A and B are shown apart, each in its own frame.
Chain A
């Protein structure tokens, strides 16, 4: 969550939600959360586990510009 919230402060375009998966099973099912942390960006790019800043940014750009479903 740390990178996501810092990115939200860096850009007015970015929103960062931290979701407690066990409290919201509907969302966890919708986003097929099997392990945490799971990150989903614009419903397009998703990955599990922490990524270094550069790779996280690449995932954001893929979500914005189109591209694959996993980082």
Chain B
């Protein structure tokens, strides 16, 4: 049974009209993965079906260890959102509820490469000399 309803698909398609360049969603899963891995894989595939600009790559955390390390992924399920480059956007766990909206937003901003931030914020970020790792903890609400 599909995860997305017809209404969801319609809403996602409408949002995806903003897509400019191709986006790749790399899902890390496990062969004997949890329900959450299976759900995440299915959800991402259904999202990708909403636009021909979005493609999916499914990898296995244990078998594709080199890629997992390169992406900094050490747990599953994980989704890497890549546009023209790897912008460093990761989702760990099934992105449901409000996080689903954020996943769609992440795909759009990775596609356009144009963050919705003030000019001042962009200037400050452009001057960052050190790595910044932001972890945002959420729950499925």
Residues of A near any B CB (own CB < 8 A): 1-24, 27-28, 31, 33, 36-43, 53-54, 57, 60-61, 63-64
- Interface residue tally on B, bucketed by range: 35 or more
10 contacts between A and B (CB under 8 A): A1-B106, A9-B113, A22-B140, A23-B36, A27-B135, A31-B135, A31-B137, A38-B137, A40-B134, A64-B128
B139: min CB distance to chain A, Å: 5
Q: DSSP class of B's interface residues: helix, strand, loop or mixed?
A: mixed
Asked if A13 contacts B131 (CB within 8 A), the reply is: yes
Stretch at the interface among B5-13, B46-54, B61-69, B86-94: B86-94
Q: Evaluate whether A37 and B132 lie within 8 angstroms (CB atoms) in the complex, with A1-B99, A5-B89, A18-B99 already known.
A: no
A11, A22, A40, A57: which has the most chain B beta carbons within 10 Å? A11
